[in-house]
Amino acid sequence: MLEINNLRASIQEESILKGLDLSIPAGEVHAIMGPNGAGKSTLGHVLAGREGYEASEGSITLDGRDLSAMDTAERAAAGLFLGFQYPVEIPGVSNIQFLRAAYNAQRKARGEDELDAMAFLKHVRQFLDTVGMGKDMLHRGLNEGFSGGEKKRNEILQMLVLQPRMIVLDETDSGLDIDALKTVAGGINAMRSPERAILLITHYQRLLDYVKPDRVHVLAQGRIVRSGGPELAQELEAKGYAGIENAA
């Protein structure tokens, strides 16, 4: 579903991604682990098409469609979802207003009918229990004053509401207590399907205990330096990255 070939990208003239290859077939869950500053979040932003994060070389395709030809919103409408490591606060735009704008914009882009306020509220409510959020949080400013954990739950709520096909979650598990982690994992597992693919960026084995990955990759110094099965995550947990980077 997602094919990345020889991806190179620089931020402010500093080369961050240096020839990254990654292929994630539909129906699979992959995890990327790697040391701080390796370029994991950068990869997420290059995929999403953030300004200043353009690929200088290589290709990215989603279902065979060239992502670099699309702007950020078009990529979302094409089915890409990026869960942020640091979700943005937008005071003045309520959570529900934001969700509805996003949902209807994507439907419109796909030539589908938009949902009115009532029908949309119904659509959202079915997911509130899954992420353990109260109705009142829908009417607050988007992420405004949300705790770290609440912001991450809100990312998962957005994912559930938008039902994307290619999901990239950047450290959605960081900063979560154990109950929140289980809740977030439950949300992710609910999205597993033969038509979707999921990429988890994480530092911790514990998320992978709840969401079993098909493949685990190590990203270091801008490249995938090693790939393996779920056991690779355990090996990393035990030994750290030092040995692996040297091996590469």
Ligand X SMILES: Nc1ncnc2c1ncn2[C@@H]1O[C@H](COP(=O)(O)OP(=O)(O)OP(=O)(O)O)[C@@H](O)[C@H]1O
**CA angle (212 as vertex; 77, 239 as ends), nearest 5:** 115
Number of helices (H) and strands (E), helices first, in the chain? Answer: 9, 12
CA–CA separation, 44 vs 70, rounded Å? 15
Distance of CA 8 to the CA centre of its chain: 20
Query: Which entry of ligand X, Mg ion, other proteins, none binds 76, CB below 5 to 8 A by partner kind?
Result: other proteins
41 contributes a contact to Mg ion by CB under 5 A = yes
Out of 28, 39, 172, 176, the residue judged to bind ligand X by CB under 6 A: 39
Query: Which entry of ligand X, other proteins, Mg ion, none binds 248, CB below 5 to 8 A by partner kind?
Result: none
Tell me if 188 sits within 8 A of 156, measured CB to CB. Answer: yes
SS3 168: strand
Q: What are the residues binding other proteins (CB under 8 A)?
A: 48, 50-51, 71-73, 75-77, 81-82, 84, 87-88, 90-93, 97-98, 101-103, 105-106, 109, 158, 162
Residue 36: phi and psi, rounded to 5, are -55, 140
CA–CA separation, 75 vs 186, rounded Å? 25
**Minimum distance between the CB of residue 32 and other proteins, rounded to whole angstroms?**
18
Query: Which entry of ligand X, other proteins, Mg ion, none binds 90, CB below 5 to 8 A by partner kind?
Result: other proteins
**Minimum distance between the CB of residue 91 and ligand X, rounded to whole angstroms?**
23
Query: Which entry of other proteins, Mg ion, ligand X, none binds 180, CB below 5 to 8 A by partner kind?
Result: none
| Residues of span 72-91 touching ligand X by CB under 6 A | 85
Nearer to other proteins, 158 or 183 (CB): 158
Place of tokens 């289980």: 182
Query: Which entry of ligand X, Mg ion, other proteins, none binds 16, CB below 5 to 8 A by partner kind?
Result: ligand X
CA–CA separation, 14 vs 22, rounded Å? 22
Out of 10, 31, 42, 158, the residue judged to bind ligand X by CB under 6 A: 42
